[in-house]
Structure 1
Amino acid sequence: MIKIGLVGPYSPRMKETVYRDLPKAYKIEEIPSIDKYTHLALMDYVILRTLKFDSAVIESCKRLKMIQKYAVGFDTIDIAFAAARNIPVVICTGINTEAVAEHTILHMLAVLRNLLPLNKRLCEGTWAKDEFVARSFNLQGKLVGLLGFGNIGKRVATLAKGFGADVQYFDPYRAQEKDEKALGVSYVSFDQLISTSEILSLHLPSNPNTLEIINSGVFNKMPSSAILINTARGNLVNENDLIEALKNGKLAGAGLDVFYCEPLKKDSPLLSMENVVLTPHVGGSTAGNDIKMMQQCLSNIIKFENGESIEKQNIVNLKLLKEPLPIRFS
């Protein structure tokens, strides 16, 4: 019997999909929290969501063939140590793209139009028709800066352009000129991006090079009328510096779906700021999206077990694996 550890918190819908779609040759073991990690020693595969998977954990997984990450973020996994054990780490690219991109636009509009304070006033019995007019803005005509230009960044560009915004971007790996022209975006330096963008939206992965890439030095260079949107990873932003920038008027507002520590602490000053929109890391959480993600996780595991190819872009530690490679790719 091939054993798969379902590691982390999963909704009933997600688990129902796994048990329904999994072939009979496989058996699921639910490992919802770190205190159940002793069960990992017998797992051939894991599907990992949110929990940490460091070198000590990987070392304890004596039978582990592959780590399948739910969604795309793999910053909780020691991918180099996994590679040293010749264990591929596989993600699910593309499935979250539309949901996260739309959520990004939602945050932009909610901050620009003061959606939450207007709703709060109305619920309190105040008809605040004119209170926020002077600080309510259209997305049309705004200069949106995208820091990171992968699948989600590109989709955000398309959606923002649909609202009539202008879009510029910076990414360590510049897109092809034909793609820039097709999307109607311009490539600029990092310094130009942060100093000219009226809306700065983050779409980078979390790694040592991007840790706290948005900090007080960046806020000091941004226009004071700018807003920050982060639907990527919480540790891209120095949260204390962000709070100070919002308090001191160096930043007009922020829309955040991700945080340095999750769940967000109940005493965080961000919770009481009217110019900040917060959601609990739900950018990719739409009806049906979770099912597609679980099906992709299972598909990758079954392909690996059967010696079939997995898309190269989904194998995040491929270049670190040793020959002979334990995984086929296309």
Structure 2
Amino acid sequence: MKVLVATEKPFAASAVEGIKKEVEAAGHELVLLEKYTEKARLLAAVKDADALIVRSDKVDVEVFDAAKQLKIVVRAGAGYDNIDLAAATAHHVVAENTPGQNSNAVAELVFGLLVFAVRNFYNGKSGSELKGKRLGILAFGNVGRNVARIAKGFGMEVCAYDAFCPTAAIETAGVRACASVDELFRSSDIVSLHIPATPETLKSIDYRTVNLLPKGGILINTARKEVINEPELLKLLAERTDLKYITDIKPDADVDFQQFEGRYFSTPKKMGAQTAEANINAGIAAAKQINAFFADGCTTYQVNK
């Protein structure tokens, strides 16, 4: 089988080496398409591929139309909104992600950003500490659990809400379970978002919800930009000068959060999974999942129907 790794932003060399080792050990052929700047190159490369590994690369209906032999596509990472799942299903292609491989990297970034924020972005003025602060985690999956683990090391009080995670599972992790999103925001000094971008969550973090944060509240988003109602959050930050918003996702071009100097920060690009370890882990996991699929039809991490 031919396995194509198509990455506009390439894996680290050590990750590519690990992927190649896994794929070739299973008797498959690895083909690389890196740093491509035109979609036409992807369409040409995927024509005879049986499997496809991507990072944030868009895999839409045009790609599936071109990939006549494609049987499986794996997004090396947790999020998979860059893959058209309906098109994958229509073309009888299994779509998978690699959950958990980037979770520690994202969780550590949360605290890198939080320390930066509570210390007033290192502007020389007196800030505050995370110890004793109340942290609310929205979604208690792999990343949320790692955030909770690290928060305890800082001496924070931790609560969480997840519509799909049983209360008992949250409490077993030593975290207080909230009954609703509203309760989470009302009872937290800081809320960290880890929800996926789904029809139910799109723009769900809006004026009303964020306004439930107590005075001096901080909203941190290392999940997906699409879950934020950016115009409404912009309006709220203008009205409530006590709030801070920090993220590793740049806003839409027409939304000017930069006006809130000292209360807003965004990294130049999405940084959650940008560690050598996460890069390697996700790439090798993708290769192993493809090997398992071809070996015995394993679809444990399938995200389409």
Instruction: Give the TM interval when normalised to the shorter protein.
Output: 0.7 to 0.9
Alignment of 1:267-282 (within 5 A): 268-270=256-258, 273-279=261-267, 280-282=269-271
Q: How many residues align?
A: 298
Deviating above 6 A after TM superposition, structure 1's stretches of 4 or more consecutive aligned residues are: none
Q: Alpha-carbon deviations, 1:207-256, whole Å to 9, x = none?
A: 11111111122233332411100111111112233333333325521220
Whether 1:72 aligns to 2:61 is no
Looking at structure 2, the residues matched to 29 and 50 of structure 1 have their Cα atoms a distance apart, in angstroms, of: 15
Distance 1:11 1:165, change over 3 A: same
Identity of aligned residues (%): 28
Query: 2:102, 2:17 → 1: CA distance?
Result: 20
1:328 alignment partner in structure 2: none
Instruction: Give the Cα–Cα distance (whole angstroms) in 2 for the partners of residues 22 and 259 of structure 1.
Output: 35
**Matched residue, 1:30:** 33
TM-score, normalising length from structure 2? 0.87
Q: Quick one: distance in 1 between partners of 2:99 and 2:280? A: 14
Say which SS state the counterpart of residue 203 (structure 2) adopts: coil
Q: Distance in 2 between matches of 1:117 and 1:59?
A: 50
Shift of 1:66: 0.2
Q: Is the counterpart of residue 4 in structure 1 residue 4 in structure 2?
A: yes
Alignment match, 2:135: 144
Aligned counterpart for 1:62 among listed residues 54, 68, 77: 68
The residue that corresponds to 2:287 in the other structure is 298
Equivalent residue number for residue 225 of structure 1 = 216
Q: Indicate how the Cα distance of structure 1 residues 193 and 29 shifts in structure 2: closer, same or farther if over 3 A, else same.
A: same
What does residue 191 of structure 1 align with?
A: 182
1:98 aligns with 104
Q: For structure 1, which segment, 140-149 or 75-84, has the greater mean C-alpha deviation from structure 2 after superposition?
A: 75-84
- 1:73 corresponds to which letter in structure 2? G
- Classify 1:221/1:110 alpha carbon distance in 2 versus 1 (closer, same or farther; 3 Å): same
Partner of 1:122: none
Please state if 1:208 is matched with 2:199.
yes
Q: Which residue of 2 aligns with 1:325?
A: none
Q: Is the 8 A contact 1:73 1:205 kept in 2?
A: yes
1:146 counterpart letter in structure 2 = I
Distance 2:141 2:258 in 1: 28
Distance 2:167 2:232 in 1: 34
Question: In the TM superposition, what whole-angstrom CA distance separates every residue of 1:84-117 from its partner, at most 9, and x where no partner exists?
Answer: 3321111111111111111112222211111x34
Equivalent positions of 1:230-309 (< 5 A) are 230-249=221-240, 251-261=242-252, 265=253, 268-270=256-258, 273-279=261-267, 280-307=269-296, 309=298
> What is residue 85 of structure 1 aligned with on the other side?
91
Superposition deviation, residue 35 in structure 1? 3.3
Structure 1, gaps ≥5 residues long: 119-127, 321-330
Q: What amino acid is the match of 2:129?
A: N
Following the alignment from structure 1 to structure 2, what is the Cα–Cα distance between the partners of residues 21 and 309?
A: 16
Greater C-alpha radius of gyration: 1
CA gap of 1:252–1:85, structure 2 versus 1, over 3 A, is same
Distance in 2, matches of 1:148 and 1:140, equals: 22
**1:46 Cα deviation after fit:** 1.0
Check the 8 A contact 1:168/1:188 in 2, yes or no: no
1:125 matched residue in structure 2: none
Gaps of 5+ in 2: none
Q: Post-superposition shift, 1:28?
A: 0.3
**Distance in 2 separating the partners of 1:83 and 1:90:** 12
> Counterparts of 2:170 and 2:232 in 1: how far apart (Å)?
35
Hey, what's the Cα distance between the residues in 2 that align with 1:2 and 1:271?
50
Correspondences of 1:116-127 after superposition (within 5 Å): 116-118=121-123
1:107 aligns with 2:94: no
